[in-house]
Structure 1
Amino acid sequence: MRLLQSEEELKNLIASDDWMMSILSTVENLQLPDWWICAGIIRSKVWDYLHNKEERTPIADIDVIYFDKENLAEEVEKQYEQELRKLSPNEPWSVKNQARMHVLNGSKPYQSAVDGISHFPEIPTAIGVKLSDGVLEIAAPYGIHLLGAGIVEPTSFYLENKYAYAIYRQRIQQKQWHLCWPELKIHLQ
C-alpha cells in the first residue's frame, strides 16, 4: 500500500482531481463564513490513492461545513444546499453549521469550523479542505499521518467519552470500510 505523508502531497492529490477542484470552486462561490469541505470526500480520495484504485469510490454525500454563530437555523443550511444544487445539481450536498453541531455530541460549543472538525468521530475523517482565492488550504487538527497511512482511530473526544466511543464503534461496523479498502488498519478497543 502506498503512503501519503505530507499536506503538500495531499494538496497535490486534490489539485490533480478536476472533479474535486470543481466541487471546491462551487462552494467557494457561496462565500460561506469559515467554510470547509470535509470528511468522506477527502478520506475516500486518499484511501483510493493508497489502494491504487483507478475508479473513484462513490460517496454518500459531500460534507460542507461552515461556522456562523449568528444564525443557527437549520433552514439556512437547507437554503445553502439548494444553492449548491442549483450550481451543481448532480452532487449529494450536505451542509452543516458547526456553530450548532456540538449539541449532537453533547460537548461544549465549538469555537470555529476547525474545532467542529476536531470533534468528528475518526481521525482520518477529521480533515477539511477549501479554496481561498484559488489556493488550497488544509485543516487537519490531528495531522494527516493516520489518514495517509490508512489507519483508523477515534478522535480524542470519542476515545475519552464512553458514550461517544460506542458511536465510533457503531460507525466502524456500519461503514464497512475494510470491504472497499482492505489494507486499512482499523483500531477498536
Structure 2
Amino acid sequence: MRTLKTEEELKNLIASDDWMMHILSTVETLQLQDCWVCAGVIRSKVWDYLHVKEERTPIADIDVIYFDKENLAEEAEKQYEHELRKLSPNEPWSVKNQARMHVLNGSNPYKSAIDGISHFPEIPTAIGVKLSDGILEIAAPYGIHLLGAGIVEPTPFYLENKDNYAIYRQRIQQKQWHLSWSELKINLQ
C-alpha cells in the first residue's frame, strides 16, 4: 500500500484531480464564511490513492461546512445546497453550518468550522480542504498521518466518552470501509 505523508503531497493529489478541483471551485463561488469541503470526499480520494485504485470509489455525499453564528437556520443550508445543485447538478451536495452542529453532537458550541471538523468521529474523516483565490488550503486538526497511512482511529471527542465511542464503533460497522479499501487498519479498542 502507498502512503501519503505531507500536506503538500495531499495538495498535489487533489490538484491533479480535475473533478475535485471542480468541486472546490464550485464551493468557492458561494463565498461562505470559514467554508470547507470535508470528510468522506477527501478521505475516499486518499484511500483510493493508497490502494492504487484507477476508478473513484462512489461517495454518498459531498460534505460542505461553513461557520455563521448570525444565521443558524437550517433553511440557509438548504438554500446553499440548492445553489450548488444549480452550479453542479449531478453532485450529492450536503451543506452544514458548524455554528449549530454542536447540538447534534452534544458538545459545547464550536468556535469555527475547523473546531467542528475536530469533532468528527474518525481522525481520517476530520479533514477539510478549500480553494481560496486559486490556493489549496488544508484543515487537519489531527494532522494527515493516520489518513495518509490508512489507519482509522476515533477523534478525542469520540474516544473520551463511552457513548460517543459506541457511535464510532457503530459507524465503523455501518460504513464497511474494509470492503472498499482492504488494507485499512481500523482500530477498535
Q: Please tell me the TM-score bracket, short chain as reference.
A: over 0.9
Alignment of 1:20-169 (within 5 A): 20-169=20-169
AA matched with 1:125: T
**In the TM superposition, what is the alpha-carbon distance from 1:44 to its structure 2 partner?**
0.1
- Identify the residue that residue 5 of structure 2 maps to in structure 1: 5
Detail structure 1 runs of 4+ shifted over 2 Å in the superposition: none
List runs of 5+ in structure 2 lacking aligned partners. Answer: none
Identical columns (%): 88
- Identify the residue that residue 185 of structure 2 maps to in structure 1: 185
* C-alpha distance in 2 between matches for 1:46 and 1:90: 22
* C-alpha distance in 2 between matches for 1:112 and 1:187: 28
AA matched with 1:67: F
Secondary structure (helix, strand or coil) at the match of 1:64 reads strand
Question: Structure 2 length as normaliser, TM-score?
Answer: 1.00
AA matched with 1:13: L
Secondary structure (helix, strand or coil) at the match of 1:101 reads helix
* C-alpha distance in 2 between matches for 1:67 and 1:105: 16
Please tell me the root mean square deviation across aligned C-alpha atoms, in Å: 0.3
AA matched with 1:17: D
* C-alpha distance in 2 between matches for 1:139 and 1:169: 24
* C-alpha distance in 2 between matches for 1:161 and 1:113: 22
Secondary structure (helix, strand or coil) at the match of 1:136 reads strand
**In the TM superposition, what is the alpha-carbon distance from 1:130 to its structure 2 partner?**
0.1
Spell out, residue by residue over 1:116-139, the C-alpha distance to the aligned partner (whole angstroms, 9 max, x if none): 000000000000000010000000
AA matched with 1:41: V
**In the TM superposition, what is the alpha-carbon distance from 1:4 to its structure 2 partner?**
0.1
**In the TM superposition, what is the alpha-carbon distance from 1:109 to its structure 2 partner?**
0.1
